[in-house]
Amino acid sequence: MVEVASMETLKFLMITTHFPPFHLGGDAVLVDYLSRELARRGHEVHVLHNPTVYKMLRPASETGSSDDIDDGIRRHQYKPRLGKYQPWINLTLGLSGMPSRMASELAKTVKPDVAHWHNTRGFIGVPMQLRNEICLYTSHDYGAICPRSNLLKPNLEICSAARMCTACSLRWRKPPQLWRVMGGRVLELQDEIRIISPSQFVADRLSDEGLRVHKVLRNFVPDPGPINRERSAKRNALIYLGMLEIHKGLHTLVKAFIKSNDRQGFELDIIGEGSLRSELIEAITKAELQNRVHVHGFLERTEAEALRKSALAQIVPSEWLENCPLTILEAFAMGIPVIGSEMGGIPEIVGPDSGSIVFRAGDVDVLADTIVDLWQRREELAGLGKRARNAYETRFRPDIHMAEYLRIINGSI
């Protein structure tokens, strides 16, 4: 492998299935943040992505083209000949000849110094070195060791020793990844590929399966600038932002809020969409808490951020093995303390130094008592918010992440 001698001007090729505006979660957002930071520093950034997968998963979406966005990032969209059927074929059989050839041809043209692979399910599949560039792979989830990428069984138990992965996929009503059956469940990455993990927890799980993680590199979020929490947090409100799905712990959160409602006076804002929405609204209505618990559904970013800034704390009650959630880092950047479950990588970033609290996942009583305790000392939350902001400034700023990222590339670690 050829190491880069100078860090003045580099060419980067990001390879990802999802990229804004065609995206579903935090992995694509992080690729966007990273690409923008690199471009802002004068590097040449190309992104190869596949909007067809997004359009297949969100057929009603009205998201337009991103080709005309002028932000210093050069986008390359893969358009499969078989349209929406191609991702299913690639996912099932591992046949990714055309997208792989496009990536190789793009690499010949661009001549990147660095090819950085992200989540490419249904697109290309296994990361590979395209020519003689430095090759990175970020494990945004558990896709390297789990066909479902989340280590969740159909009964929502955590998978500790994966077996019968094909049967698991079928029970999830997802196409089985037959290529994993033939070649082994764990991705066989080339030795030249440096694996980056956003959390020590995920790094340890990958290592347990025989994958060597080169570096634990925490995620980052842009700096929104100093926020006067005493002035902005005008409501006695808590907030949740994310998918309304059972593995995110929404049922536990709503039950805990209902159980504690006569001992605390918070309002609760729930922002997001998902299969639990009608069930949550029914439970809230039955408890006659419609005036205190507000299920907003999907909100545009500006609306969601306005509600978030007015809240005293954010709750992240996840019951699956989270990696390094951007929603927590965003809260810290805004000076908002977090109540987070103990799952996955959350305890690595949520703790006393951030003015935040970790609780036992899925425990309604513990979360209810935590909410009551916060209510009784709500006057302290502004001070806890300052500690949250300090955690952001010392650990999750873009310049901190970029310094480590470029050191990985330069081979100095």
- Domain co-membership, 272 together with 133: no
pLDDT at 235: 79
Round the CA-based radius of gyration of the chain to a whole number and report it: 22
pLDDT at 9: 87
Q: What is the mean pLDDT of the chain?
A: 87
- Domain co-membership, 199 together with 274: no
- Domain co-membership, 388 together with 296: yes
Specify the 3-state DSSP secondary structure of 90: helix
Contacts of 323 (CB under 8 A, 6+ apart): 139, 140, 141, 197, 198, 199, 201, 202, 344, 345
pLDDT, tens only, 5-51: 445 789 999 999 889 887 677 899 999 999 999 999 999 999 999 88
- Domain co-membership, 259 together with 382: yes
Residue the block writes with tokens 């979406």: 61
Average pLDDT over residues 221-234: 72
The dihedral region occupied by 277, where left means phi > 0, alpha psi between -120 and 50, and beta the remainder, is alpha
DSSP notation for 141-166 = SSTTT-TTSS-B-TTSPBPSS---HH
Read off the CATH number of the domain in which 49 is found.
Answer: 3.40.50.2000
- Domain co-membership, 18 together with 124: yes
Question: Is 349 a domain residue?
Answer: yes
pLDDT at 58: 67
Retrieve residue 400's tokens. Answer: 């901190």
Whether the pLDDT of residue 221 is over 60: the answer is yes
Question: Is 363 a domain residue?
Answer: yes
Using CA atoms, how far apart are residues 361 and 351, in angstroms rounded to an integer? 15
pLDDT at 232: 58
Question: Is 164 a domain residue?
Answer: no
Contacts of 20 (CB under 8 A, 6+ apart): 28, 29, 32, 66
| Strand-pair category, 73-77 with 44-49 | parallel
The whole-model pTM stands at 0.90
Question: Is 4 a domain residue?
Answer: no
Retrieve residue 337's tokens. Answer: 């303390």
Question: For 90-94, 353-357, 383-387, which range has the lowest pLDDT when averaged over its residues?
Answer: 90-94
pLDDT at 412: 45
Comparing CA positions, the residue from 213, 272, 263 lying closest to residue 369 is: 263
What is the domain range of residue 119? 11-145+186-219+398-409
Question: Is 153 a domain residue?
Answer: no
pLDDT, tens only, 161-179: 766 787 787 887 777 777 7
pLDDT, tens only, 79-97: 776 666 666 677 777 666 7
Using CA atoms, how far apart are residues 338 and 311, in angstroms rounded to an integer? 11
Average pLDDT over residues 139-153: 90
- Domain co-membership, 279 together with 258: yes
Comparing CA positions, the residue from 81, 84, 119, 83 lying closest to residue 101 is: 81
Question: Is 69 a domain residue?
Answer: yes
Question: Is 402 a domain residue?
Answer: yes
- Domain co-membership, 209 together with 339: no
Percent of the chain with pLDDT over 70: 85
Regarding predicted confidence, which is higher, 64 or 202? Answer: 202
Confidence band (pLDDT; 50, 70, 90) for 2? very low
Question: Is 202 a domain residue?
Answer: yes
- Domain co-membership, 403 together with 391: no
Structural domains counted in the chain: 2
- Domain co-membership, 65 together with 35: yes
Using CA atoms, how far apart are residues 382 and 336, in angstroms rounded to an integer? 8
Centroid of chain to Cα 61? 21
- Domain co-membership, 116 together with 239: no
Using CA atoms, how far apart are residues 346 and 358, in angstroms rounded to an integer? 8
- Domain co-membership, 258 together with 374: yes
pLDDT, tens only, 273-327: 999 999 999 999 999 999 999 999 989 889 999 999 999 999 999 999 999 999 9
- Domain co-membership, 209 together with 238: no
